[in-house]
Amino acid sequence: MKERIHTTSTKNFREEWIDFIHELQNKICESLEAVDGSAKFKEDVWQRKAGGGGKTRVIANGNVFEKGGVNTSVVHGELSRKMREVLHIPLSSESTKWFACGLSLVLHPINPFVPTVHCNYRYFELTDKEGNVTDCWFGGGTDLTPYYLFEEDAKHFHQTYKNVCHGFDEKFYPLFKKTCDDYFVNTHRNDERRGIGGIFYDHRKPDENNDLNFWFNFSKACGNAFVDAYVPIVEKRINVLFNESNKYWQEIRRGRYVEFNLVHDKGTLFGLKTNGRTESILMSLPPTVRFEYDYQPLKGTPEADLLEVCLRPRDWT
C-alpha cells in the first residue's frame, strides 16, 4: 500500500495556497488595469454545486485588452469514475475525494504587436475516506503567444523565468521550457506551436529531493514573476501602429489558439469533462478569430518569421 502523506503537513499548504492565489489575483489585476488605463475587471463570484467555487474576473474592450480573464477557483468533490479516468487513477486506489485550487489567466490584446499570454498555477490533492492525503502535487506555467516576433521581447520573457528557475535548480529551466514547447503544440498542424513557449511543469510532488514546501515556494515564485515577465512587453508595444492586414494575421493565429485549447489542452478538457463552470473555462478563447482554408504567409514577411519559430522552437536565452 502506498504510504500516506501526513495530513498535518498538507492542510497548511492548502490554506496558504488559497490565500496566495487570491493575493496573486489581486496583484495581477491591479497591474493589468494600470497598464490598460481604461477598462476595469468585473468579478463574478460563483459556487459549484458539487463543492467549492471561484472568482472569475473579466476585462474587455479596454485601451489595451480586447478580452481577458484572471480566474481563481477552489473546488473539491467525490472521486467519480469519470474523474478517475481523467486523472488516470485506478479503481483500486484508496483515494475517494479530490481538491484543486489554482489561478488561471489568458489575455488577448487589441494590438497585434502585443502578445497574448497564458498563465496557470495550481495545487491538487487526493484523500481517502478518513480524510488522509494520499497524493498531492503542484503544476503550472506561463507561455507567450505573439503575433509578430520581437526577439528582445522573447528574450526578456524567457530570461525572467530562467532566473526564477535558477533560484531553485539550474536544471529546471531547460527541462520546463522543453516541456512547454512539447505541450502547447497543434500536432494536427505539423507540430506547429501556438506561440514561443515559456515554462510548464506538472505533477511535482514530494520526493527524496524536494519536499512539498519546495514546490510550494517554486510555484509562488513563478506566479509572482508574471507581472515582471509580461507587463514590460505590453508597455513597449501598445503604441505600435497597426493596420487591417496585421489584424487579419492576428485572427488567423487566434484560430490556432482556439484549435489547441479545444482539441488538445488538458485543462480545458478536464474542466468540461468534470462539470466545471463552462463560462470560466471558455474565457480563454479570443473574441474574434479567422479560419481561412490553407492560409500560408508570404515568404520573407514578418508573419512568416513568426510561423518559423512556432514550427522550430528556439533557445531564447
Active site residues: 118
Are the beta carbons of 46 and 277 closer than 8 angstroms? yes
Task: Give the torsion sign (CA, 113, 251, 186, 202).
Answer: positive
Q: Which residues contact 80 (CB under 8 A, 6 or more apart)?
A: 274
Measured at the CA of 241, the angle between CA 239 and CA 244, to 5 degrees, comes to 135
Report the distance separating Cα 74 and Cα 81, nearest Å: 21
- Contact, 317 vs 155, CB < 8 A? yes
Residue spans of beta strands (DSSP E) within 146-277 = 185-186, 192-193, 197-204
Q: How far is CA 252 from CA 30, 73, 112, 257, 299, in A?
A: 30, 31, 11, 9, 16
Per-residue cell: 9: 503537513
CB 125 within 8 A of CB 135: yes
Q: What is the DSSP letter of 188?
A: G
Asked if 184 and 260 count as a contact pair (C-beta separation under 8 A), the reply is: yes
In angstroms, the CA 215 to CA 13 distance is: 10
Question: Cα–Cα distance between 303 and 308 in angstroms, integer?
Answer: 9
- At 103, which helix (H) or strand (E)? strand 97-109
DSSP for 301-316? SHHHHHHHHHHS----
Amino acid in the structure at residue 61: N
